[in-house]
Every structure is written in C-alpha cells, then in structure tokens.
Amino acid sequence: AQKVTQAQTEISVVEKEDVTLDCVYETRDTTYYLFWYKQPPSGELVFLIRRNSFDEQNEISGRYSWNFQKSTSSFNFTITASQVVDSAVYFCALTNNNAGNMLTFGGGTRLMVKP
C-alpha cells in the first residue's frame, strides 16, 4: 500500500519569508512518481512538478525548489521569498505506475502568506 504524509496541516508566514512544505511517502515499489499540486482558493488543482524515483536531482523553478531524498523517503517543497499569491493548499502525491494505478494524495498543507 502507498501512503503520503504531509505533517504540516497549516503554515503561516509573512511575505518574503522562505517556507518549506514537507512530504514523506511510503511505497514498496522501486519505480514510482511523486507530484506536487497547488490548490488556490478558486479550487482547481494546478500541477507543479513530477519526479520519478530514479532521478534524485533537486529541481529549481523560479522561486520554487524541490528536494527529493530517497534515503528519507521525502520530497520537500520550498518557496523562496513567498508572496501573497502563494497562499493555497499544496498537495504531495504518489503513484507507482502499475496498471490502472491511482494517484495517492497527502492530506495537504494550507499555506497562508500575510502581507
């Protein structure tokens, strides 16, 4: 069985602060894929990143960066110099790519960025 844990249910920061959202996963498979999605107040799910289990390189995209560590089964997400528009719920998710397999979501972290 797969499991994704986002221990931080809610984080509040002041604009321009850096913030890291934690994600810990469990899977027995050697091939799997990890995702981060953003859900703004409007409710849609916005894809941010996909990473496969064989690629442990960290990734940076503008103010966003991701740290994937297989040794600790973690896929953490950092926002640098946060902005009010970053306020949203962020979900980490996992799939093992088996036939018909679904995406397993964590419970989400609500990020509030105050001006």
Partner 1 sequence: NAGVTQTPKFRILKIGQSMTLQCTQDMNHNYMYWYRQDPGMGLKLIYYSVGAGITDKGEVPNGYNVSRSTTEDFPLRLELAAPSQTSVYFCASSYSPGGNYGYTFGSGTRLTVV
Taking CB under 8 A as the criterion, the residue among 43, 54, 61, 71 binding partner 1 is 43
Instruction: State the Cα–Cα distance between residues 44 and 111, nearest whole angstrom.
Output: 16
The answer to whether residue 90 forms part of the interface with partner 1 (CB under 8 A) is: no
> Phi first, then psi: what are they for 94, rounded to 5°?
-140, 140
Q: Taking CB under 8 A as the criterion, which residues in 11-40 touch partner 1? A: 31-33, 35
Considering beta carbons, is residue 82 or 91 the nearer one to partner 1?
Answer: 91
Is 91 a binder of partner 1 (CB under 8 A)?
yes
Q: Is 90 left (phi over 0), alpha (psi -120 to 50) or beta?
A: beta
Instruction: Pick out residues in 58-77 that bind partner 1 (CB under 8 A).
Output: none
In DSSP terms, which residues pair with 5 in a beta bridge?
A: 24
| 48 interacts with partner 1 by CB under 8 A | no
Q: Work out whether 44 is an interface residue with partner 1 (CB under 8 A).
A: yes
What is the largest distance, in Å, between two alpha-carbon atoms of the chain?
46
